[in-house]
Amino acid sequence: MGRLLVWLIAGFILSGCANTSEVMLPGRMYASSDGQMLEFSIETSIGNGKMTAFNQKTGERFTGEYSAFYRGQGDMYGNVGGTNVPLYQSPAGANGRGILVGDKGTTVTLYLEISPGIRPTGQGIGTDQEGRRYEVFF
């Protein structure tokens, strides 16, 4: 019974990161070519969401979206009072892909690794159409 309660509580806590309301997490996006930092934000979601970025040096504003899928999630079975019952195994994280399109013509494709939690965190790498590299952290 104690193990079931732990799994139920863990599921409840992790469901906080699956909030469907628009919550934008702040982050940073670095242009690897010159180390310039761009403002970055990503929406918490279940599977897909919005992203934004802003380059203060050039004034370019980026909008875009991402899609991600869980990894390490599955079903488990436990024994409660002599009966096997299905238990939920929470995801270990998510892998995603996204795109940011700037209002001055720059397009950045990003690959993301997201860690679940009350406040999800993550990192990613990307390139634009000119081959410049970017790194994001949130």
**Is residue 65 situated within a structural domain?**
yes
**Is residue 41 situated within a structural domain?**
yes
**Is residue 10 situated within a structural domain?**
no
**Is residue 56 situated within a structural domain?**
yes
Residue 61 structural domain: 20-72+92-137
DSSP string, 38-102: EEEEEE--SSEEEEEEEETTTTEEEEEEEEEEEES-EEEEEEETTEEEEEEE--SEEEEEEEEEE
Q: Which residue has the higher pLDDT, 89 or 42?
A: 42
Give the total number of structural domains in the chain.
1
**Is residue 59 situated within a structural domain?**
yes
Q: What's the pLDDT tens digit per position in 91-120? A: 788 999 999 999 999 999 999 999 988 899
The predicted structure's pLDDT at residue 122: 96
**Is residue 68 situated within a structural domain?**
yes
**Is residue 43 situated within a structural domain?**
yes
